Amino acid sequence: MRILTRDIGAHVDKEIMLRGWVDTRRDHGKLIFIDFRDWTGLAQVIFLPNNKELHTKASALRSEWVIELKGKVQKRPAGLVNEKMISGAYEILATELTVLSEAKTPPFDIGTDGLDVGEESRMKYRYLDLRRARMQKNLRNRAKVFQHIRTFLASKDFVEIETPVLSKSTPEGARDYLVPSRIHEGKFYALPQSPQQYKQLFMVAGMDRYFQLARCFRDEDTRGDRQPEFTQLDLEMSFVAREDVMAVNEELLIKIVTELYPEKKIQEIPFPRITYKDALEKYGSDRPDMRKDKNDPNLLSFCWVIDFPFFEKTDTGWTFTHNPFSAPKPEFMADLLAKKNVGEILTTQYDVALNGWEIGGGSIRNHRSEALKAVFSIMGFEDERIYKNFGHMLEAFDFGAPPHGGIAWGMDRLMMILEQEANIREVIAFPKTGDGSDLMMDAPSDVTPEQLRELHITIKEKKK
């Protein structure tokens, strides 16, 4: 049975079998040492010269070869204990060796943190980059956070439900990724910018509490904290006010930090609240960094930002500041329905910020069709366009919709902060580069003329 390096100490004076990678090989005269690696850490293995066949096999080993070996576990002398290794108090005296897979020399050193390696090389050989201890830690901790979220929300009666990836293109603030339909000539699906409309329809359906760790897609320029596709924690609750949604999310964030990152300190609990107006005046940002000591890497300063303006003026009229599905604060509902004092209307939007980053945003929603229609009317949409884009939502609300609200967290951004990384690419398994390319898969790529014909698409060459 395979033993992991972390468990070697439980098998002293016994023969065990390991499977994994050669991290390094060192020849010390007649002795050959290798640092053996699996996902739990490193272990030192010794090959003695008295077994010539085994010694010869060991001398051929190179870094990143995949091997199976058997050997006897023994304690290291007290002065030779390696505190940096999980099994540093033990070593393995090899008795058998099988090479499962040889490896070419990697294009870069996998034993470092990789931050000195160019992005193009790391992205092209991402499957090698992910062998690094730092990257393994980031992805494994990400999985722990996701599991923690699922367990917590299930205990609060939330139901995890998947929403479609092929949907309808509707104006939600960013550019859609479009998917042509082969069967419905000239028509297109859109990849979801978020599950916003579906999760509200779950509330109409009586699901009461929904959540999903959802994949979202937005065709926009990338930055260190953005990607064309990303993951968000998406949740919605029926029969709630702003305080109910904020309380559940604050409790979950506190539990993630205290139970999974106990070395970190939350600066203030409960999270402080600041209005949008005060945040801009005091911090110059609607995602304020309120840390008292910015030199403390383990200090986390959460805050809630509230009382956002619903609309902002553009060159062509009014647009929403956050989400067209938000409800105004109750005292502004009459102005919304009358479409007056538009610039003064405040929304029920609430954002949660962490160390100067927005990590989540949500609101109480409009659950009455006339209120949602008024939002789009203020934005200059004619009735025909409103019903073409959002008629399904308006009709659903007319069948009896409960008051509801929710939030979405940017999970990549949250993990970036918790893992103290510089950008979200360090906590995503297979991210895109800065220009949205996948260098490993060579995407986006050309497709065949036959595929284009099936989709009724003709590509015109760009005029020079």
Q: Provide the CATH number for the domain around residue 96.
A: 2.40.50.140
242 and 289 part of one domain: yes
Residue 247 lies in a domain: yes
Pair of tokens at residue 367 = 């659950």
The predicted pLDDT at position 309 comes to 96
Does 110 map to a domain? no
**Could you tell me the CA-to-CA distances from 46 to 36, 49, 58, 435 in Å, in that order?**
10, 10, 9, 47
Residue 243, domain CATH: 3.30.930.10
- Cα–Cα distances in Å, from 421 out to 160, 296, 302? 29, 14, 18
Collect all residues with Cβ–Cβ distance below 8 Å to 58 and sequence separation of at least 6.
25, 32, 34, 47, 94, 97
Residue 236: count other Cβ atoms within 10 Å of its Cβ.
Answer: 28
Classify residue 458: in a domain, yes or no: no
Scanning 217-322, the segments in alpha helix (DSSP H) are 242-260, 276-283
156 and 235 co-located in one domain: yes
* Alpha carbons 149 and 260: distance in angstroms, whole number: 11
The verdict on 43 and 183 lying in the same domain is no
Q: What's the token pair of residue 357?
A: 């980053």
Give me the tens of pLDDT residue by residue for the chain, a chain 464 residues long. 999 999 999 999 999 999 999 999 999 889 999 999 999 999 999 999 999 999 999 999 999 999 999 999 999 988 889 888 889 999 999 999 999 999 999 999 999 999 999 999 999 999 999 999 999 999 999 999 999 999 999 999 999 999 999 999 987 668 899 999 999 999 999 999 999 999 999 999 999 999 999 999 999 876 666 899 999 999 999 999 999 999 999 999 999 999 999 999 999 999 999 999 999 999 999 999 999 999 999 999 999 999 999 999 888 888 888 889 999 999 999 999 999 999 999 999 999 999 999 999 999 999 999 999 999 999 999 999 999 999 999 999 999 999 999 999 999 999 999 999 999 999 999 999 888 899 999 999 999 999 999 999 999 888 77
Please give the pLDDT value at position 461.
83
Is 187 part of a structural domain of the chain?
yes
Query: How many structural domains is the chain composed of?
Result: 2
**Would residue 135 count as lying in a domain?**
yes
Total number of residues shown for the chain: 464
Which residues sit opposite 27 in a β-bridge?
32
Residue 12 inside a domain? The answer is yes
Say yes or no: 45 and 173 in one domain: no
Same domain, 92 and 205: no
Does 254 lie in the same domain as 138? Answer: yes
Q: What is the pLDDT of residue 222?
A: 66
pTM of the model: 0.94
Asked whether residue 358 is domain-assigned, the answer is: yes
Distance, in Å, from the CA atom of 191 to the CA atom of 65, rounded to the nearest integer, reads: 41
Instruction: Check residue 46 and give its pLDDT.
Output: 97
Question: Domain check: are 82 and 214 in the same one?
Answer: no
State whether 168 and 31 are in the same domain. no
Report the relative pairing of strands 404-410 and 229-238 from DSSP bridges.
antiparallel
Q: What is the residue range of 326's domain? A: 127-427
Within this chain, do residues 132 and 234 fall inside the same structural domain, yes or no? yes
Q: Are residues 215 and 318 in the same domain?
A: yes
Q: Say if residue 96 is in the same domain as residue 153.
A: no
**Residue partners of 162: CB distance under 8 A and separation at least 6:** 212
The answer to whether position 121 is within a domain reads no
Q: How far apart are the first and last CA of the chain?
A: 65
Q: 178 and 234 share a domain?
A: yes
Reading the block at residue 256, the tokens are 């993630």
pLDDT at residue 391 in the model: 93
Confidence (pLDDT) at 421: 96
Bridge partners (DSSP) of residue 410 are 232
Report residue 113 as tokens.
């943190």
